[in-house]
Amino acid sequence: MLERMKRNVEAQQRFVADAAHQMRTPLTGLKTQAQFAARETDPAALRHALRQIATGVDRAGRLVNQLLTLARTEGGELGQQQHAPTDLTQLLREVVEDWVIVALEKRIDLGFESPGPAMISGNEFLLRELVKNLIDNALRYTPAGGHVTCRTIVTEVSVLLEIEDDGIGISEEQAELVFERFYRVDDATTEGSGLGLAIVQEIASQHGARAMLRPNPRGKGSVARVVFSAWHPPPPPRPPPEDYAELYRQSPPLGP
């Protein structure tokens, strides 16, 4: 109990420090745009400034949501919820459908591949967050005309979630750093908080899974993988014996 309280306090302290640091830049930008809009008299320039403010608000809102998710997962608040058998293939299909419009707007081909059900034991809410952040990361670093493919691969003992893209790619050195909070592969050309993959790593850890991001062996781009243990239903109970003699042999002795 004390250990859990300690983890929660530490997570809250990290959240406050990170939130203060990360919110400073977007809030400063919003203030600048608001001051510009207040002085502007040209209608076209005013509309542009207001659009910039709306974009900044969206970006700040996304950052707050990611910080909250990270704080809640690191503190164990969400991870304490009971895991249940979950079809990762079905969950992946649903999340991919949610991102189709975003991919179309970016002119990226977002694909889905799967051989069938992929059963794992997990928290469905957290798993959706994990998949969402992986797809968001792939779309963010893939240029127009590129491809992002999401798939599950099932073996007897494991389920592999794989998000493959043909974007800007990643070096082996960067691959060792991308799951750290606020690490950005390319700060200059892409927007983002650097929190998405940190959230992925934390959620994977709470599911006993391994997350990794590597250069795409098929060529340019990268491949994100999360390896889960496969879930299998428990064996059915043994049928009752057909005769009392067998029942007697299976029963423990009655005496001391």
Per the structure block, which two tokens stand in for 230?
């496969």
Nearest in space to 170 (alpha carbons), one of 213, 109, 219, 226 = 213
Percent of the chain predicted with pLDDT > 70: 66
Q: How many Cα atoms are found within 13 Å in the side-chain-facing hemisphere of 11? A: 19
How far, in Å, CA of 135 to CA of 103, rounded? 10
pLDDT band at residue 9, thresholds of 50, 70 and 90?
Answer: low
Residues 28-62 as b/e (b if ≥16 CB within 10 A, e otherwise) read ebbeebeeebeeeeeeeeeeebeebbeebeebbeb
Task: Compute CA 123 distance to the chain's CA centroid, rounded to the nearest angstrom.
Answer: 12
| Domain boundary assignment for the chain | 2-74, 84-229
Backbone angles phi, psi at 173, to 5 degrees: -65, -45
Q: Write the pLDDT tens digit of every residue in 173-207.
A: 887 777 776 666 654 455 555 677 888 888 898 89
Of the segments 16-20, 151-155, 175-179, which one has the largest average pLDDT value? 151-155
How far, in Å, CA of 204 to CA of 133, rounded? 12
Percent of the chain predicted with pLDDT > 90: 36
**Average pLDDT over every residue of 139-155:** 95
Q: Report the topology of domain 2-74.
A: Helix Hairpins (1.10.287)
State residue 95's pLDDT score: 94
Hunting for tokens 């003699």 — which residue is that? 245
Output 233 or 41, whichever has higher pLDDT. 233
Over the chain, what is the mean pLDDT?
A: 79
How far, in Å, CA of 44 to CA of 37, rounded? 11
Q: Write the pLDDT tens digit of every residue in 79-118.
A: 555 789 999 999 999 999 999 999 999 999 999 999 899 9
- CATH number of the domain at 84-229, out of 3.30.465.10, 3.20.20.100, 3.40.190.10, 3.30.565.10? 3.30.565.10
